[in-house]
Structure 1
Amino acid sequence: MEIYLIRHTAPDIEKGVCYGQSDLNLKSNYTEEFEAVLNQIQLKKDFKVISSPLKRCVLLAKRFSNHITLDDRLKELNFGDWELNPWNDIPEKDINPWMADFVNIAVPNGESYVELASRVDDFFESITHSKNNQNLIVISHAGPIRVVLSKLLKLPLKDSFSIKINYGDVFHLKKENESLKLITEINL
């Protein structure tokens, strides 16, 4: 079983704004970015497409198939009260404890990184232990992708931001003996 794990292309939002589960539009040049993604994947076999339900992922998923399975477990971190606020406007009394331990401390009315990791792990456990060995294209966000890659690379979650993930990046995984193996080379 082969899996292509893909980050959505660039959203239409100003730099410096906190966003996670906000349903953002894509930048106007998204069709060009889609072509760059498509050129990285060799679709020689049938693939099932699974996507985060946020439109910045769904639009890309529709380029692969008209039949998409949406899964909430693939959503980005829920930034709760901080969604769509400039990072610089978040009060220090709120952001400092989170910055000191973003893995375990939840954003006010949002979630922690370990909570995100739990739902993403649940998703990947379900597909790796499925009897169906259908090839997959999974379209998600940087947070969930970092969780998967950090697990495969045996990196603690607190160190997962050393993994660079750009908009439209594609990571090739392969299921072997009930476990996932990373095919794409990553330099840390």
Structure 2
Amino acid sequence: MSTVIKVKQVNEMSLYVTRHGQTNYNVNNLVCGISPAALTTDGIEQAKELGRQLKSIKYDFLYVSPLQRAIDTADYANVEGLEVIIEPRISEINFGIYEGVHRDDPGFIANKHNLAIRYPNGESFIELCKRVYEFLGEIKEQATKSNVLLVCHGAVCRAINTYFNEMSNDDIFYYQTENCQLLKYDYLSR
């Protein structure tokens, strides 16, 4: 069962963020960045439950990662009445040569622990943060005093959390967002 976690509270725009529903990669503990991954039956149910939670929240903009698992999550959540805006900057991190390997793979773990190292043929967490932060800055300017919903991915949720909260490298490494968990952030007045 998903819950809304309120991270910070002020009186401006609220940013709601959720991770896509469960995929076979999640079930099998495989690394999945930009690889195509379909929602499981449980993932579809998680998305429908997310939709029930979203009925009580008024949001004005819906941004979704271009990866199919995020698009499907938004569709199953029955996000009513809003145009879906596909936003490539909230696509999952590119894990390069580690796409599809088991999460216990020593090479993957070594790369994951160093946030500045680029995954071979992929990108680093720092590079991911750069594109996510750029997008978050844009929606702050474009949608102040409006609520925004993002349907994205685990590493993107981690990057968003670092945008709003100071975190140590260990905090970043261990920060997890469950499938279809709904997070809420509020932009500070500037």
TM-score range, shorter chain: 0.7 to 0.9
Which residue is 1:4 aligned to?
16
Distance 1:44 1:123 in 2: 22
- Offset of residue 3 of structure 1: 1.8
Distance 1:87 1:165 in 2: 16
Distance 2:125 2:100 in 1: 18
Pairing partner for 1:36 from 49, 69, 92? 49
Partner AA of 2:135 in structure 1? F
Q: CA RMSD in A?
A: 2.3
Tell me, yes or no, if structure 1 residue 173 matches structure 2 residue 189.
no
Distance 1:81 1:137 in 2: 31
Pairing partner for 2:134 from 102, 105, 122? 122
Tell me, yes or no, if structure 1 residue 156 matches structure 2 residue 168.
yes
Which residue is 1:138 aligned to?
150
* Unaligned residue ranges in structure 1 (runs of 5+): 179-188
Which residue is 1:51 aligned to?
64
Report the more deviating stretch, 8-17 or 51-60: 8-17
What are the Cα deviations for residues 156-185 of structure 1, in whole angstroms up to 9, with x where unaligned? 34521332311111001223414xxxxxxx
Partner AA of 1:19 in structure 2? C
Partner AA of 2:127 in structure 1? E
Report the more deviating stretch, 13-22 or 105-114: 13-22
Tell me, yes or no, if structure 1 residue 18 matches structure 2 residue 31.
yes
Distance 1:42 1:143 in 2: 26
Aligned residues: 174
* Unaligned residue ranges in structure 2 (runs of 5+): 1-12
Distance 1:15 1:84 in 2: 10
- Offset of residue 87 of structure 1: 4.1
Partner AA of 2:72 in structure 1? L
Tell me, yes or no, if structure 1 residue 77 matches structure 2 residue 93.
yes
SS in 1 for 2:148: strand
Tell me, yes or no, if structure 1 residue 86 matches structure 2 residue 102.
yes
What are the Cα deviations for residues 8-63 of structure 1, in whole angstroms up to 9, with x where unaligned? 11012252322111121000233321232123335453421101011111112222
Distance 1:99 1:5, change over 3 A: closer
Q: TM-score, normalised by structure 1?
A: 0.81
